[in-house]
Amino acid sequence: MPTPLNQRHNANAIRILAMDAVQKANSGHPGAPMGMADIAEVVWREFLSHNPKNPKWANRDRFVLSNGHGSMLLYALLHLSGYDLTIDDIKNFRQLHAKTAGHPEYGYVDGIETTTGPLGQGIANAVGFALAEKTLAGQFNKPDNAIIDHHTYCFLGDGCLMEGVSHEACSLAGTLGLGKLIVYYDDNGISIDGEVEGWFSDDTAKRFESYHWQVLCVDGHDDEQIREATVQAKAQTDKPTLIICKTVIGMGSPNKQGKEASHGSPLGADEIVLTRATLGWDNANAFEISDEIYKAWNACDKGECLENDWNAQFADYETKYPNEADELKRRLSGQLPQDFSAKADDFIKACQTKAESIATRKASQNTIAAFAPLLPEILGGSADLAGSNLTLWHGAKSVQAYTDGNYVHYGVREFGMTAIANGVALHGGFIPYTATFLMFMEYARNALRMSSLMKQRVINVYTHDSIGLGEDGPTHQPVEQIASLRQTPNHFTWRPCDAVETAVAWKMALYTTNAPTSLILSRQNLDHQTRTDEQVALIEKGAYVLAKEQSDLQAIIIATGSEVALAIQAHKILTEQGVGVRVVSMPCAEIFVKQDRDYIQSVLPSHVRHRVAVEASIVDYWYKFVGLDGKVIGMTTFGESAPAKDLFNHFGITTDKVVQAVQSLI
């Protein structure tokens, strides 16, 4: 028989901390932590391999709380296990500058592996962790030494399973056979609106079986069943496992357990008194945990032993395989090879010398082919469009076909792909890039926002960047997307105008360790632009003078991507007319505005008020650079279906229009 509720002191410590913290904050979700406390106690005390004194230990198990609104569950686990999270931090739950934010936030406290805010993305991140573990193991493990060998544990709830991103990610996880992914489903039947059976009647077990998962069902309050299921999950190495845990939300609250009342609101002072009695909790004061329970929970000594054993294993690995060991350490540190910058610069110079007029999507493929052999940590992938966005390269090996692969065929799963890539980046040892058409960035938008929020080095390759893609029409022609990306905090958007700027954009993305980068690339061929070596070096600053004025400076044309060629043609015409005009190529506005004032003034002198911006996307963004008195040539409507040349003429994005705009200003 299961242990009576009032005797489960270790699990009840979670319930006490959760309900007390939510009550003190007068905000939060006590129900999920109280309902999942028994599952968490078994997983964390008996199975999770981790070291609270070194939360970044490379071979630790990863734990993801996908139903992140139940954040007090994770905070209680970290506090009780011995992480640097004090009882005062618990008391400060949901307050300004607290480590214990409303949802777990990566970087706020050690032990939080990912930011799980919007439901469904946590499980997708967990798939990324498991993918990274399996791929890194395939690249570094030896027959006599499995140096990379850990599991990913994930808790999730009904909301995660209703969100579409979980379907995308879990379907792929089954296809990839991620056997070290173990997921616990908090099947409590309750969401904010009440009993979910009125809007969520899926047969979850059959769904996951169809995804090629192992599915187990247990009583989520029976320690022995949870234990046996976890052992069975670890034994299944070819499939991920879903353990469906039938639980009672708010377990222990006599009047609110099993009800939506415990989901997203404090229990109330009177109910907390009754709950303490129901749990057999001797301490009447809030936040009081006995030394005996702290001792039972503390994982520091066990964690240190686990890590020491692995360190000894790594020492043996280092002796037998010194080159692989050095490479693994470098990759886990996140540092690029020392000689990479020089080699990248050599490639950039070669692009300038070659002077090819090609589509920037093709230039990107050439760059990947040049850089990827130098960077085995690159783990690429595309949402079923590799032949169009040109992200496959000669040395690419599918992870579906090779244990040491470096390329993921994500299928038509833009949101899942991007959220999985976030997990790959968080795991360490890889620099992930993903790819799709720019228009389909909209499907991935929230995951892209999360990589920006978490400061992760994820590279997004977005091709078919404007009305220039032509006949597919307005549904596929991005108009407002580039502006949306540029306005996302901690995110860098590059729209290069030729092969040289594309190569520089890739280099900068690879060296940007604390933010994601989006590369906005053309379908159509673009003219090569002639530059000096000095101008090539200035591309890294985000904007530079590409064509100088031939007389006193009267006007400035700012352009990106395919429209730089229009600006250069306009510059030639205006110069012949005696107009002092310069062209500024601005492939990355976010980097440019971070430059020092002197450089910004050297490119865009404030006294020159006559400015024209040209870009085949929404015009509104560019007024920050041209001012309200300037002019912007671009899109104010959606596109149309027609050949690209006809569309540029129809929407007035032409050399003549640029010339006329400058003339009208001066």
576 labelled catalytic: no
Task: Establish whether 190 is an annotated binding residue.
Answer: yes
Q: What is the pLDDT of residues 385-412, one digit of tens each?
A: 999 999 999 999 999 999 999 999 999 9
User: How many helices (H) does the chain have, and how many strands (E)?
Assistant: 27, 18
CATH topology assigned to domain 5-303: Rossmann fold (3.40.50)
Can you give the C-alpha Rg of the chain in angstroms?
28
Kind of pairing, strands 152-156 and 181-187?
parallel
Q: Given a cut of 90, is residue 86 above it in pLDDT? A: yes
Task: Establish whether 528 is an annotated binding residue.
Answer: no
Q: What is the pLDDT of residues 353-384, one digit of tens each?
A: 999 999 999 999 999 999 999 999 999 999 99
End-to-end CA distance of the chain: 87
**Tokens found for residue 578:** 């005696």
In the chain, pLDDT over 90 holds for what percent of residues? 99
Tell the residue number behind the tokens 């690159």, with chain if given: 378
Kind of pairing, strands 611-618 and 631-635?
parallel
Q: Given a cut of 80, is residue 1 above it in pLDDT? A: no
567-601 burial code (b ≥16 CB/10 A, e <16): bbbbbebbbeeebbbbbbbbbbbbbbeebeeeebe
Task: Establish whether 159 is an annotated binding residue.
Answer: yes
User: Is domain 339-520 classified as CATH 3.30.365.10?
Assistant: no
Give the whole-angstrom CA distance, residue 110 versus residue 90: 14
Nearest to 558 by CA among 582, 529, 527: 582
Q: Can you give the pLDDT at residue 594?
A: 98
Kindly list the distances between the CA atom of residue 504 and the CA atoms of 170, 485, 537, 567, in Å, as whole numbers in the listed order: 36, 19, 9, 21
Task: Establish whether 188 is an annotated binding residue.
Answer: yes
Q: Are 174 and 55 in contact (CB under 8 A)?
A: no
Q: Are 403 and 140 in contact (CB under 8 A)?
A: no
Q: Given a cut of 80, is residue 26 above it in pLDDT? A: yes
Q: Given a cut of 80, is residue 512 above it in pLDDT? A: yes
C-beta neighbour count of 471 within 10 angstroms: 13
Nearest to 351 by CA among 524, 563, 531: 531
Q: What is the spatial order of strands in the sheet that 152-156 belongs to?
A: 62-65, 152-156, 181-187, 241-246, 214-219
Residue-averaged pLDDT of the chain: 97
Kind of pairing, strands 407-409 and 194-195?
unpaired
Q: What is the pLDDT of residues 142-168, one digit of tens each?
A: 999 999 999 999 999 999 999 999 999
Q: What is the pLDDT of residues 622-642, one digit of tens each?
A: 999 999 999 999 999 999 999
* Helices 9-25 and 71-81, packing angle to 10 deg: 120
Nearest to 288 by CA among 12, 511, 66: 12
**Tokens found for residue 533:** 């070596």
Task: Establish whether 263 is an annotated binding residue.
Answer: yes
Give the whole-angstrom CA distance, residue 37 versus residue 493: 43
Give the whole-angstrom CA distance, residue 520 versus residue 352: 20
Catalytic residue among 307, 414, 501, 549: 414
Q: Given a cut of 90, is residue 484 above it in pLDDT? A: yes
Give the whole-angstrom CA distance, residue 260 versus residue 265: 9
Kind of pairing, strands 555-559 and 581-585?
parallel
Kindly list the distances between the CA atom of residue 579 and the CA atoms of 129, 370, 558, 571, 575, in Å, as whole numbers in the listed order: 57, 41, 16, 9, 5
As a whole number of angstroms, the longest Cα–Cα distance in the chain is: 93
- Residue 512 is which amino acid? T
Kind of pairing, strands 631-635 and 378-382?
unpaired
CATH topology assigned to domain 541-664: Rossmann fold (3.40.50)
Query: How would residue 274 be classed by pLDDT, with cut points 50, 70 and 90?
Result: very high
Looking at 161-318, which runs of residues are DSSP E strands?
181-187, 190-191, 194-195, 214-219, 241-246
**Tokens found for residue 380:** 């690429």
Give the whole-angstrom CA distance, residue 363 versus residue 203: 47
Q: Are 131 and 424 in contact (CB under 8 A)?
A: yes
**Residues 6 or more apart in contact with residue 425 via CB below 8 angstroms:** 128, 431, 432, 451, 456, 457, 458
In the chain, pLDDT over 70 holds for what percent of residues? 100
Task: Establish whether 244 is an annotated binding residue.
Answer: no
Q: Which helix (H) or strand (E) holds 195?
A: strand 194-195
Q: Can you give the pLDDT at residue 283?
A: 86
**Tokens found for residue 651:** 């929407």
Give the whole-angstrom CA distance, residue 40 versus residue 380: 34
Task: Establish whether 50 is an annotated binding residue.
Answer: no
Give the whole-angstrom CA distance, residue 103 versus residue 115: 7
Q: Are 278 and 254 in contact (CB under 8 A)?
A: yes
Give the whole-angstrom CA distance, residue 281 versus residue 275: 8
Q: Are 15 and 280 in contact (CB under 8 A)?
A: no
Q: What is the mean pLDDT of residues 24-42?
A: 98
3-state SS assignment for residue 609: coil
Positions of CATH 3.40.50.920 in the chain: 541-664
Give the whole-angstrom CA distance, residue 149 versus residue 234: 12
Assessment of whether the complete model's pTM goes beyond 0.95: yes
Indicate the Cα dihedral angle 192, 194, 195, 200, nearest 10°: -50
Positions of CATH 3.40.50.970 in the chain: 5-303, 339-520
Nearest to 426 by CA among 631, 88, 230, 152: 152
Task: Establish whether 119 is an annotated binding residue.
Answer: yes
- Residue 212 is which amino acid? H
Task: Establish whether 627 is an annotated binding residue.
Answer: no
Q: Are 497 and 562 in contact (CB under 8 A)?
A: yes
φ and ψ at 530, to 5 degrees?
-75, 135
Give the whole-angstrom CA distance, residue 68 versus residue 319: 42
The DSSP code sequence of 448-499 is HHHHHHTT---EEEEES-SGGG-TT-TTTS-SSHHHHHHTSTT-EEE--SSH
Q: Cα 409 to chain center, whole Å?
A: 18
C-beta neighbour count of 179 within 10 angstroms: 20
Give the whole-angstrom CA distance, residue 612 versus residue 628: 11
φ and ψ at 471, to 5 degrees?
-65, -15
